[in-house]
């Protein structure tokens, strides 16, 4: 884990940011619809867009949590498909990567 201590901190910082953003979105989605029917249409469209953003955020949150688990159990940086090391540059560019560039490209 010590090899990836800096990566774990970056992931935790990103996770905190995403959780905060997701909470703001979910709070916004809880608001009641406007009584004005024309405003309701706008609110519904906004809510659909927010739900899409929330879904993307939740997926990234899950990937970050998985990466942090892999750091803790010592499997971070190892390709889930071929078992080879994932290049440090790849992990720096995409810290949630679970496969080396060769396996990711082949998929």
Strand partners, 85: 78
Residues 35 and 53 in one domain: yes
Supply the pLDDT for residue 29: 81
CA distance 59 to 63: 6
CA distance 13 to 25: 19
Per the CB < 8 A criterion, the answer to whether 44 and 33 are in contact is yes
Supply the pLDDT for residue 74: 94
Residue given tokens 């082949």 in the structure block: 106
Say how many domains are in the chain. Answer: 2
Residue 37 C-beta-side C-alpha neighbours within 13 Å: 0
Residues 10 and 22 in one domain: yes
Domain of 93 in residue numbering reads as: 78-107
pTM of the full predicted structure? 0.82
Residues 37 and 70 in one domain: yes
Residues 98 and 84 in one domain: yes
- The tens place of each residue's pLDDT in the chain, 107 residues long, gives 558 999 999 999 999 999 999 999 998 888 776 666 677 777 778 888 888 999 999 999 999 999 999 999 999 999 999 999 999 999 999 999 999 999 999 97
């Amino acid at each position: 884990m010590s090899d990836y201590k800096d990566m774990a901190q970056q992931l935790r910082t990103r996770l905190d940011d995403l959780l905060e953003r997701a909470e703001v979105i979910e709070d916004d989605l809880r608001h009641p619809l406007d009584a004005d029917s024309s405003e309701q249409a706008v609110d519904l469209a906004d809510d659909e867009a927010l739900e899409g953003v929330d879904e993307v955020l939740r997926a990234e949150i899950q990937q970050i949590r998985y990466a942090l688990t892999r750091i803790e159990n010592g499997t971070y940086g190892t390709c889930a498909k071929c078992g080879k090391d994932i290049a440090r540059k790849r992990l720096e560019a995409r810290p949630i990567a679970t496969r080396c560039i060769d396996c990711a490209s082949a998929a």
